[in-house]
Amino acid sequence: MGAAMTGCRAVAGTDTLTITTAAERPELIPRVYEIDETWPAFIPHDLVAGTLLDRVVAEFPQYCAVATDGDRVVARALAVPFDAHADGREETPDQGWDQVLSWAFHDLRRSAAPTAASALEITVDTRHLGRGLSYRMLNALRSAAERQGHTALLAPVRPTAKHLLPRLPMAEYLTRTRTDGLPEDPWLRVHVKAGGSIVKVAPASMTVSGSLEQWRQWTGLPFDRDGGTEVPGALVPVHTDLAQDRAVYVEPNVWVRHPLRPVAPIAGAEDS
């Protein structure tokens, strides 16, 4: 994989797919959420996501990638830089996704030099699933981080099949491998096949808290019993407390580290 990512075009049949950084095609920045996606309805109610996620592509376009098929936006891949060497920080915090996103904007405000880069999400339009596009978008994020001089791309990965086993601890889930030694989970397997290595579990990567009525609206479930409530799409049960009229979902993710071949940042790369 080349160190610097420029426009990448592939033709399959009559379809033309183009993948670039958002910095290379700034006109697409307002359109990255046009994708027909399948995230669980409760996920956007993570407070950090609700506050900051929509600003990521505009603030860090050189770290984000977008794919188009003709005039249609068909995939996005988001990543952020942060200073992992600041006091009290580490490259792979237990609060995973929420933490690195918060750090990125904190560092942006104080103009801190980044020492690490973390992926946030790769989302493919439902009509373009099954074409290997998620793997190509991951490569685009890796190239974008290389272009900014990073030695690794970190990723708090959300295993795509974990929701089928919500009561199985994530650490135990990671032991489930195929006969070839690769992870049983499809999305973790993509990361490992791409050269990533599993580092550890991020036990509190995202947190969604709401009243019981809010959870009923998000999921269509009654939320009428105390304890763990299994919710479609949730990686672990949602903790329900009837007396306090609340339910809290604390999602574990898996930290993966992708080693990179860093290059000196290209002058004006953000505007290229």
The pLDDT score that the predictor gives to residue 16 is: 79
Q: How far is CA 266 from CA 20, 91, 116, 147, in A?
A: 16, 24, 17, 7
* Count of other CB atoms within 10 angstroms of residue 147: 25
- Rounded CA-CA distance 234/166 in Å is 7
Residue recorded with tokens 């005039």: 71
The pLDDT score that the predictor gives to residue 263 is: 58
Residue recorded with tokens 């075009």: 9
Contact indicator for 148, 123 with CB cutoff of 8 Å: no
Residues of the chain with CATH 3.40.630.30: 8-201+254-261
Q: How far is CA 163 from CA 105, 233, 238, 250, in A?
A: 30, 5, 12, 13
Count the alpha carbons within 13 Å of 92 in the hemisphere toward its beta carbon: 20
The residues near 154 (Cβ < 8 Å, ≥ 6 apart) are 91, 92, 100, 116, 117, 118, 119, 255, 256, 257, 258
Contact indicator for 192, 183 with CB cutoff of 8 Å: yes
How many residues appear in the chain?
272
96: left (phi over 0), alpha (psi -120 to 50) or beta: left
Q: Give the residues of the chain that fall short of pLDDT 50.
A: 1-14, 265-272
Q: Beta 197-210 vs 227-229: how paired, if at all?
A: unpaired
| CATH 2.40.110.10 for domain 8-201+254-261 | no
* Count of other CB atoms within 10 angstroms of residue 1: 12
**What b/e string do you get for 236-265 counting C-beta neighbours within 10 Å, with b at 16 or more?**
bbbebeeeeebbebbbbbbbbbbebeeeee
